Amino acid sequence: MDKIALEAKISEQRDHLTSLVLRAKQNGIDELEIFSSYGFSEEVTLEKNDLNNCASTEENMFGIRVVHKGCQGFLTTNHLPSLWESILEAQSLAKSQTTPDPSLVLPEVRPLEVRPEGYRSAIDAVSIEDLVGIAKSILERRRDEYPLVNIDSGDITISKGFKMIISSKGVYGAELGAGISASVMGMAVQGEDIGSFDYDSASAEDLETFLPKWQKAFQKFGDNCMGALGARTIQSFKGKILLPPDAVYSFFLGSFLGSLNGTSLRKGKSKMANRLGTQVADSRLSIWEDPTLESRSGTTAFDREGQPTKKQDILKDGVLSSYFYNTYEAKKAGLPASNGFATGGAQSLPGCGPRQLQIQAGTEAKDSFFSLKEKVLYINRISGTSDAASGDFSGVVKGGFLLESGEKIPIKEVQIVGNVFDSLHQIEAISKEGELLGESYFVPYFLMDGYSITGMENGK
């Protein structure tokens, strides 16, 4: 499958779906939306320090939504020849509903901007044999540089495909995408000393860009696994934590962003309700959505409903600027249209959320965070529980370190408790450097203060 074949498939499918929409209108189905998601991939998997499997997969899913007098029917199918029958079934589901809602309508057509294409033709020259070669080279590197590290699982994958949406309201959008990615998971083992699990990944739009990223990611994985050996308990203390980019999102930003979801707001489950224009975080924190950036996986001209996307502030100097709305939630909130934050794909109804957030870099060098004289808990990840409504969380630190006077000590059996929304005000510094998560979100390092950290009281 190459770019020319995908473009031909898009053209053929657009003609077919257009004819189905016309047929639906002729049969009294006035509100019909079809979302198509096509994907082709070739994958090499790793397991237990060896090659495991090579496979190719191809799938085309269709999400069909019919709205009838404020009621909605939705289903997913992967069978192109029977799409008309699926449309009729979705109509039947809509008609069977007994709780109509006037806010439940398909969005009107709005103009879309042209965005950088996420498909570089050079990727068509990459074969599954190339993936096997990459897999072998990483296994050799593990053997030579990290013999104590066990690769539990991993994969190297080429993915190509497109998304398309068409509706009876005149909405239409289609975009190609392709990329190469890899991931690895495992731990270091030295006798009875078993380190914490670690994970890393890399992705890019072409092989030339991917290879150095993957080499760097694997080195980080190997170093982290080895660094987790010899973990020890520590005494409890209250003080600073250091979050690398992955942990910034998983630790507290993910829950905060969930509180900006239009559905959570409408259901009264968000502490950010009625907070637009108010200070909800430290003034160092600015976050914005930018789906216009070139060579990013979240770059797109349209959302799950075919509505235009744009660069827009979420937090500006700690002041809340925006919520996430799809068409339904926007109308329930009294707005004329969504703000381009409909999420999902062919297998789900539109949700609400961001796709390519960027966090403003700070002024501090990240290396300075590792050389503070006072105690700092470096958190790689947390295994625990959190309450989305209240923001309270607690968990055990995994793959963490105690930093003190330049020393980096692997730790175990350490717990941390806190509150997501309080954490927004506990930022002490943000790094100048950062990382792209999933080749989409830019996230720097965060140094934060005022946390209760519980270790073994007699830790040594």
Cα–Cα distance measured from residue 439 to residue 441, given in angstroms and rounded to the nearest whole number: 7
12 burial via Cβ count (<10 Å: 0-12, 13-18, 19+): exposed
Q: What is the gyration radius of the CA atoms in the chain, in angstroms?
A: 24
User: What's the whole-number mean pLDDT along residues 350-360?
Assistant: 96
- 201-231 confidence digits (pLDDT tens): 999 999 999 999 999 999 999 999 999 999 9
Query: Sign (positive/negative) of CA torsion 369, 370, 372, 377?
Result: positive
- 4-25 confidence digits (pLDDT tens): 999 999 999 999 999 999 999 9
Q: What is the band of 40 on the pLDDT scale with cuts at 50, 70, 90? A: very high
What is the percent of the chain with per-residue pLDDT over 70, rounded to a whole number? 99
Structure tokens at 357: 């957030």
| Single-letter code of the amino acid located at 261 | N
DSSP letter string, 234-290: ---EEEEEEE-HHHHIIIIIHHHHHTTBHHHHHTT--TTTT-TTSB-S-TT--EEE-
User: Is pLDDT of 252 > 80?
Assistant: no
Q: Are 222 and 149 in contact, with CB atoms under 8 Å apart?
A: yes
Alpha carbon separation from 13 to 215, 332, 371, 397 (Å, rounded) = 39, 34, 58, 49
- 292-340 confidence digits (pLDDT tens): 998 899 999 999 999 999 999 999 999 999 999 999 999 999 999 999 9
The helix (H) or strand (E) run that includes residue 226 is: helix 207-227
pTM of the shown model: 0.93
User: Is pLDDT of 432 > 80?
Assistant: yes
Structure tokens at 399: 């793959």
What is the percent of the chain with per-residue pLDDT over 90, rounded to a whole number? 88
Q: What is the band of 384 on the pLDDT scale with cuts at 50, 70, 90? A: confident
Identify the structural domains of the chain with CATH numbers, from first to last: 3-225 (3.30.2290.10), 231-460 (no CATH)
Q: How many helices (H) and strands (E) does the chain have?
A: 10, 22
Q: What is the band of 460 on the pLDDT scale with cuts at 50, 70, 90? A: very low
Query: Sign (positive/negative) of CA torsion 405, 406, 409, 415?
Result: positive
Contact partners, residue 16, CB within 8 Å, separation at least 6 = 80, 83
Bridge partners of residue 43, in order along the sequence: 55, 157
Cα–Cα distance measured from residue 110 to residue 310, given in angstroms and rounded to the nearest whole number: 13
Q: What is the band of 249 on the pLDDT scale with cuts at 50, 70, 90? A: confident
Which of helix, strand or coil describes residue 324?
A: strand
